[in-house]
Chain A
């Protein structure tokens, strides 16, 4: 690793370290039910806090998989720290794949 300590890199930390550890809601997704998230995208659009992200799980070289094919994309919970437990994603999910616990 190159030593870059002499450079004046700004170090803002908007996260209050004295308040850690924090407790966040646990969001579980049943991947046997949720198979085509990129095609469905209901939870992604319902969430006001943008907790979820979707990514291509099976990335073939020089080709991206078909979003309509089951199991190629996967929706994951990234920003659980922003979840306010409004349960809108649970309501809109057509497969009832999402459960939120605190």
Chain B
């Protein structure tokens, strides 16, 4: 069982448990309260500094690297209180659609990773690639000059359409958390640009694999190779000998991009709970 389900699932998949969506997190400060420093104001580029420290530690030696990695995992540098420093989980499109039905309000926002990596400012609604769930989005609406682009409110049906559109374009969906337990949004990532995904694939932390793995039906597969273009994790390769797709379930994140891209429905998502050897692979 995934660690989040163990902690917060109450017997079901944790991100489908309505208890884990924030409803009372946005509070107005008392009039006599001292103004707090906004996140990032005290330490601008805090996340970037942590990543740079990790790369610098790799030059120093294994002991320094492990110590820095441990500090980041414990959440001392990154997100206070997140278990093990993990911040998200890959979710397939069908579960993301269930999530947007459950959460309210829904707001489309600009992606912070793409802003830091490529200096892309997603200022209009068709450009947005990130979705915030819950009342925290009201803050983004209040200060559009602080959160560039502001927030575009959508209904759950519009959000589903938006998710399907991004899925067609080849973005992998993942949920993100604002602090422990509370699901704050749905990211749409691709490998080198998404910071969380790059940290996971290069250094091994920050994001959990999903609750599913993909399986190929070789009778239906015609070897068109569309799925291999869409896999972000190097799990799906074309088996050239028999000219069919081949999926490494140990590497598969269960994002379901290959399933939604397959024109012949040859790929299906199987629940990890049915595969005993994958229970510890997260």
A-side interface residues toward B, CB under 8 Å? 1, 4, 7-15, 17-18, 20-24, 37-38, 41, 44-45, 49-50, 52-64, 74, 76-81
Contacts and interface: CB of A to CB of B under 8 A. Distances in A.
Contacts of B148: 64
B226 interface: no
Interface residues of B, number: 50
A8 B5 CA distance: 12
B273 interface: no
Contacts of A18: 62
Given A55-B48, A59-B41, A79-B198, A22 B58 contact: yes
A78 B54 CA distance: 9
A98 to B, nearest CB: 16
Given A20-B65, A21-B58, A64-B146, A14 B202 contact: yes
A6 B203 CA distance: 22
A53 B117 contact: yes
B270 interface: no
B86 to A, nearest CB: 8
B204 A56 contact: no
Contacts of B66: 17
B83 interface: yes
Contact of A15 (B65, B119, B145): B65
Contacts of A20: 58, 61-62, 65
B62 A44 contact: no
A4 B44 contact: no
Interface string B50-61: 011001001111
A58 B55 CA distance: 25
A23 to B, nearest CB: 7
B146 A24 contact: no
B204 A11 contact: yes
17 contacts: A8-B3, A9-B73, A9-B84, A15-B203, A20-B58, A21-B60, A44-B117, A44-B119, A50-B198, A55-B48, A55-B116, A59-B40, A59-B41, A61-B37, A62-B38, A63-B146, A80-B55
Nearest to A20: B62
A14 B35 CA distance: 42
A55 B24 CA distance: 30
B180 to A, nearest CB: 10
B45 interface: yes
Given A17-B62, A62-B38, 10 more contacts: A9-B3, A10-B281, A15-B203, A24-B59, A37-B119, A41-B118, A56-B45, A57-B45, A58-B44, A61-B38
Given A10-B282, A20-B65, A62 B146 contact: yes
